[in-house]
Amino acid sequence: MVMDFLLERYTKKEPITQNAMLNVISRKYEQHFPEILSRASECVELVLGLELKEVDCRTLVNKFSLGVEEGSSDEEELPKSGLLMELLGIIFMKGNHTSEEEIWDFLNVLGIHAGKKHSIFGEPRKLITIDLVQKGYLNYRQMPNSDPPGYEFLWGPRAYAETSKMKVLEVLAKIQDTVPSSFPDLYDEALRDQVERAGLRGAARVPIMAEASAPTRAKSYSSSHI
């Protein structure tokens, strides 16, 4: 009930107050309110990537800076970043590619089934095999040498550009109520990914810095010959 209330307030862009939530659960459960709110906000964060924050009043904010919501024509559509991060996590955990069957096994646990319209995510098969593929977050391809033909998922180029293996591992760890380092192999790979990304960023800055310093050197050379 509290989850539904939080999502309704989010889509309508309305503030979230404690009194309003207490009215939802009734005063009879007021003593359990902290635990109820904690569980509801955790579910919303894990499934949708929405984090409950308190400034002047409580509000839900999108925790993941992904562009997966771009192009939505429905202002009240709920974000899909949380689900996408979990899918990327499953792919990472399975060796950076995973079969379609394994993806559906995971989604079924969340109550998301192929061919059955979901109240939040719409038609799931279209979402993961068309929408997220066209937006570049997932790569959906036939598995090599599979007979009968089977399909698998990999990270798409926008997933690599907008998130990282460490961020995805943090989501996986939170689902398991643990820390990223408790998955030593995945943690080591995520660290290597961070180092490689840092190296690429550094390499990209070198030509820019060299180009910027060239006029300075030229100016110094000219000055020394005046």
Superfamily of the domain at 1-62 = MAGE homology domain, winged helix WH1 motif (1.10.10.1200)
* Residue pointed to by tokens 């989010």: 10
* Same-fold call for 1-62 versus 82-203: yes
Show the CA angle centred on residue 75, arms to residues 69 and 81, nearest 5°: 25
Residue 68 region by backbone torsions, left for phi larger than 0, else alpha for psi between -120 and 50, else beta: alpha
* Cis before 148 (ω within 30): yes
Mean pLDDT in order along the chain per 10 residues (226 residues):
82 80 82 87 76 67 58 55 89 95 91 85 90 94 88 95 92 87 95 87 55 48 42
Structure tokens at 120: 């939040």
Q: Spell out the domain ranges in the chain.
A: 1-62, 82-203
- Cα pseudo-dihedral 188, 159, 169, 49, rounded to 10: 160
Read off the DSSP letter of residue 177: T
pLDDT of residue 14: 80
Q: Which of 2, 79, 13, 91 has the alpha carbon at shortest distance from 42?
A: 2
What are the residues whose beta carbons fall under 8 Å from the beta carbon of 25, sequence distance 6 or more? 1, 2, 33, 36
pLDDT of residue 221: 41
Q: Please say whether the structural domain 82-203 has been given the CATH code 1.10.260.40.
A: no
Read off the DSSP letter of residue 129: I
pLDDT of residue 132: 93
* Residue pointed to by tokens 């979402």: 127
What does pTM read for this prediction? 0.70
pLDDT of residue 65: 55
Structure tokens at 21: 């939530």
